Amino acid sequence: MKTKAIVPPKLADPCNQDVKIKAQKVILGFKKEVVEFIIRLRILRIVLRHFKNPLKVLKILKTLDSNRRKISGPGRVNKFIKINGRYFWNLYIPGSNSLAFDRFFEGEINRISPILKKTNRFSNIFIAFTKKCPLKCEHCFEWDVINKKEKLRLNDIQTIIKKFQLKGVAQVQITGGEPMLRVDDIVEMVQSSHNVTDFWVLTSGFNLTYANAQKLKLAGLTGVVISLDHFDPDRHNMFRGYKNSYQWVEEAVKNSIDSNLVTALSICVTKSFVSESNLMRYAELAKKLGVSFVQVLEPKSLGHYSGKNVQLPPDQEKILEEFFLKMNFDKRFRDFPIITYHGYYQRRVGCFGAGNRHLYIDTDGDIHPCPFCPAKAGNALEDSLDYSLPVLQSKGCQLYNDTNIR
């Protein structure tokens, strides 16, 4: 059943106006070394909480470091983003100085050598907050359910989040549909649940007005990931199926940064987009917009792309890997946003979805390996997680089955 048409909010500025955006605070050089040392001390303290044998402690620290290199690339972290006294360097690791950070590392330590605490299973979960959306994106993985009747009420979602918090989840990514259509519900949920978990909103930029960004920040939201699929406004608008969507992105980025939310862009890189020069033009724009992170997603043949051959060929994967390494480890690009590219580690160490480190809960509460692999393994509201999670894990990830960092 279709719901009423969605009316986009009035935009503050006309399309051709230059939106002035300030950048988020980047920590480099000697300050970065000091911050890194303090973060390493905090991780050491977490390890010492669970292990006393110095050899064991050393082994765990070395394995943590070796896993980081396999996942994030061979170099050292070369910058931090400072927001509200917390330091961020990876989109999927909670910022330092927080319970969410400690939970994350307890989970990673537990994988190397089991600790007594039982609640340390997940790094993050994605939860789809609504089926409603005003856009018609080329790559939409929720295409078949968009604007159908809603099933989950706020208290259902709160129940689900609580279940996963008891399993130790460190981060929750709120997605959709367009989650900002339920901004008041998000505010209420984050207010009641953010103490031990970081919450992020994944949005097209729709309805991320300054007032809404402020409300989310005050509620305790950590950050926002805004989809921008091309540096060219017309190409982005065409990809998203809506004439003002590029303008939403610009304004959403500004409002998010002005509200002191960690701010990231996310791009679905298509065959026609991937080239060294296009990626650099996108990175230049991301830097100009002042965001801290850019997430690069590869297209998958599902949803609106179902039946289409959208998978990138190996030479384009190579271009993306080179771009990822160059931007994150070459000193010349230290003042650019940090790049997140899942394809890099997925091809080396396997996928972290399917209940290994993360999973996806759709708009009916059904649990799937990740947003891009629909394969129901129980319902997060109705079933016990102790039943659903082993089912999910036994099925594993269909694409990258051989996860070798447990």
What DSSP designation does 24 have?
Answer: P
Residue range at the interface with ligand SF4 (CB under 6 A); choices 22-30, 31-39, 68-76, 132-140: 132-140
Q: Interacting stretch for ligand SF4, rule CB under 6 A, among 25-33, 129-137, 279-287, 350-358?
A: 129-137
- Kindly list the distances between the CA atom of residue 169 and the CA atoms of 90, 199, 259, 283, in Å, as whole numbers in the listed order: 16, 11, 25, 31
SS3 319: helix
Question: Is residue 137 near ligand SF4 by the rule CB under 6 A?
Answer: yes
For 161-261, where are the E strands, in sequence order?
171-175, 198-203, 223-227
- The residue range among 55-63, 171-179, 188-196, 251-259 that interacts with ligand SF4, by the rule CB under 6 A, is 171-179
Per rule CB under 6 A, count of chain residues that contact ligand SF4: 11
Distance, in Å, from the CA atom of 107 to the CA atom of 150, rounded to the nearest integer, reads 33
Interaction between residue 237 and ligand SF4 (CB under 6 A) = no
Angle, in degrees to the nearest 10, between helices 183-193 and 154-166: 30
The two structure tokens encoding residue 326:
């160059």
Q: Is 362 in the site for ligand SF4 (CB under 6 A)?
A: no
Q: Which of 56, 138, 90, 96 is nearest to 352 (CA)?
A: 90
- Member of 95, 168, 177, 233 binding ligand SF4 (CB under 6 A): 177
Q: Which is nearer to ligand SF4, 265 or 405 (CB)?
A: 265
CA pseudo-torsion sign 22, 341, 403, 200: positive
Nearer to ligand SF4, 115 or 180 (CB): 180
CB of 281 to ligand SF4, least distance (A): 22
From candidates 135, 172, 213, 385, binder to ligand SF4 by CB under 6 A: 135
Distance CA 352, CA 349 (A): 9
Listed in sequence order, the residues at least 6 apart from 223 whose beta carbon sits closer than 8 Å to its beta carbon are: 83, 88, 198, 200, 201, 256, 261, 262, 263, 264
Q: Per CB under 6 A, which region of 21-29, 140-148, 307-315, 363-371 contacts ligand SF4?
A: 140-148
Q: Which of 108, 178, 198, 250 binds ligand SF4 (CB under 6 A)?
A: 178
Tell me if 133 contacts ligand SF4 by CB under 6 A: yes
Shortest reach from residue 29's CB to ligand SF4, in Å: 39
Q: Cβ closer to ligand SF4: 73 or 177?
A: 177
φ/ψ bin of 307: left (φ > 0), alpha (ψ from -120 to 50), beta (otherwise): left
Pattern 143-162, binding to ligand SF4, x per CB under 6 A? ---x----------------
Residue type at 12 in one-letter notation: A
Which is nearer to ligand SF4, 5 or 116 (by Cβ)?
5
Q: Which residues pair with 203 in a beta bridge?
A: 226
Site map for ligand SF4, 198-217, x if CB under 6 A?
------x-------------
Binding site for ligand SF4 (CB under 6 A): 133, 135-137, 140, 142, 146, 176-178, 204
